[in-house]
Amino acid sequence: MDNQLHPYLIAIIAIPAVILSILTLKYRHETKLHFSKLLRYLFYSNSLVNLARKEFLTVVIPIITTTYFVALDIWGEKWNLFTAHPDAHEYIFFALAGLTIISLICKGIADRIESNAHFNHQNITERFTLLTSRLVKQKLDRFKEAAQNIDYQQDIFHQITLPNLQINLALTEIVDLMHTKFGVRENELCITIMKEDPTTKSWRFTYQTNKSWKHTSPQNLIRQNSTAKQCLDSGEPIFHADKQYAAKKSQYLLSKRDTTKGKVGSVFCYPAYTRSKDHQSRFVISIVTYGKMLCAPSDTEQCDAIELIFSDICRRIDLELTLESIKDIKSKSDSRAQGASI
């Protein structure tokens, strides 16, 4: 067969590869993000790739290509079908060969992406189940122990309900989860809970995993374009896999630690509310990583999985924050009642 097409094939493969390499090196951060999303779409999430991944096609196309090549090699100079149109059959063979290569490459890349996402999601889900089990067991053990020594003449709710203890335990478990499943070290992670004072409307940190760190003022986080403000305004959990890109879209407020430790990282914020007849408590639970992203921003499935699991974890904390708010409301109500009786 004529080899004149070989230089063209090399050029077709080499030129896009060179262009992609140059673009990857030259383009800025947000452009790389869009580019990675484009690659993911081209090799994983579009309908043509899904068609190419079909087991039937990945088996049948190579068989047809191999059979066609063998037929050309053995009978190419004997059969009129081949000798009458040699150029056409050469094009057909290269088309089949190219289709086979593309099909196998797309399937390989897509299967790899899918298996990694499934593996990570399964691992995180298992760890979350273990975390929940530990929290429930610790609370159950504490209730059973309290039942043996409870003073029924006193307020039983205040005696057995210790939300502070449960919240600190949950934060410790989250830190362990981030280290074992995401490879995020303790000095690369900060988890905080902010609370609004219902009287003064000011905000303060009530829980922090790294108390020695100098944090951005809660007031600044709420007043400026931050993920905390974004989740409060929407009333929904917010996850940004790439907080640097989120900052450029005015959806994350870069802190001094971000500028010193590098802007790479992820952020998740969860709003929590407790409302009564004359009282409302508002909280924001934040999980922020420094120097490491929890997943690729282009991996939408993984981003959705992380947001879902973090939301489930924060709901456990939200339960304890609700109990804490109820205790505060009851304490204030009891104080008012005592003041009125004097």
* pLDDT score, position 210: 86
Long-range pairs, 125-129, Cβ under 8 A, ≥24: 125/309, 127/177, 127/180, 127/181, 128/177, 128/309, 128/312, 128/313
Q: Which of 93-97, 123-127, 161-165, 202-206 has the least mean pLDDT? A: 123-127
In a domain, 140, yes or no: no
Is there a single domain that holds both residue 98 and residue 217? no
Token duo for residue 298: 């282009």
Is residue 42 located within the same domain as residue 177? no
Residue 115, judged by CB atoms within 10 A of its CB (0-12, 13-18, 19+), counts as: exposed
Q: What is the mean pLDDT of the chain?
A: 77
**What is the per-residue pLDDT for 1?**
46
Pair 199, 278 in one domain: yes
Residue 130's H or E segment, with its range, is helix 86-149
Q: What pLDDT does 43 receive?
A: 60
Q: Is the pLDDT of residue 3 over 70?
A: no
Structural domain harbouring 57: 6-117
Residues 177 and 251 in one domain: yes
The pLDDT of residue 8 is: 60
Q: Supply the angle between the helices 86-149 and 55-75 in degrees, to the nearest 10.
A: 160
Considering only 160-174, 233-247, 311-325, which range has the smallest mean pLDDT?
A: 160-174
Same domain, residue pair 112 and 174: no
Q: Indicate the residue among 62, 87, 117 that finishes a domain.
A: 117
Maximum mean pLDDT: which of 15-29, 88-102, 114-128, 235-249: 235-249
The reported pLDDT for the residue numbered 162 is 79
Cβ atoms 266, 293 nearer than 8 A: yes
Q: Do residue 207 and residue 59 come from a single domain?
A: no
98 and 188 share a domain? no
User: Does position 116 have pLDDT exceeding 70, yes or no?
Assistant: no
Which range has the worst mean pLDDT, 185-199, 216-230, 324-338? 324-338
pLDDT at 277: 74
Does residue 9 register a pLDDT over 80?
Answer: no
Range of weakest confidence among 225-229, 261-265, 333-337: 333-337
Same domain assignment for residues 108 and 193: no
pLDDT in the model for residue 256 = 86
Residue (of 53, 62, 313, 76) closest to 178 by Cα position:
313
Q: What number is the average pLDDT over the span 316-323?
A: 90
| Domain assignment of residue 131, yes or no | no
Of the listed ranges 128-137, 186-195, 232-241, 319-328, the one predicted with least confidence: 128-137
Binned at pLDDT 50, 70 and 90, residue 105 comes out as: confident
- Reference 210, options 149, 275, 289; nearest CA is 289
Residue that terminates a domain, selected from 89, 117, 145? 117
- Could you tell me the pLDDT band of residue 46, with boundaries at 50, 70 and 90? low
Please state the rounded mean pLDDT for residues 234-259: 91
Please enumerate in sequence order all residues whose Cβ is within 8 A of that of 3, keeping only pairs 6 or more positions apart, or say none.
Answer: none
Q: What pTM did the predictor assign?
A: 0.65
Residues 69 and 199 in one domain: no
Beta bridge partners of 190: 288
Question: How many domains, the chain?
Answer: 2
Residue 127 lies in a domain: no
Give the residue-averaged pLDDT of 47-66: 70
Q: Which two tokens stand for residue 139?
A: 């609370």
- Is 136 inside any structural domain? no
Residue 2: which residues within 8 A CB-CB, separation 6 or more? 86, 87, 90
Does residue 167 surpass a pLDDT of 80? yes
**Residue 270, by phi and psi: left (phi above 0), alpha (psi -120 to 50) or beta?**
beta
Residue 173 has pLDDT above 50, yes or no: yes
107 and 11, same structural domain?
A: yes
Q: Domain for residue 1, yes or no?
A: no
The CATH number of whichever domain residue 167 belongs to comes to 3.30.450.40
pLDDT digits (tens, 9 = 90+) for 263-302: 789 999 999 998 877 778 899 999 999 988 888 887 777 8
Domain co-membership, 75 together with 167: no
Q: 314 or 4: whose pLDDT is higher?
A: 314
106 in the same domain as 253: no
Is 133 a domain residue? no
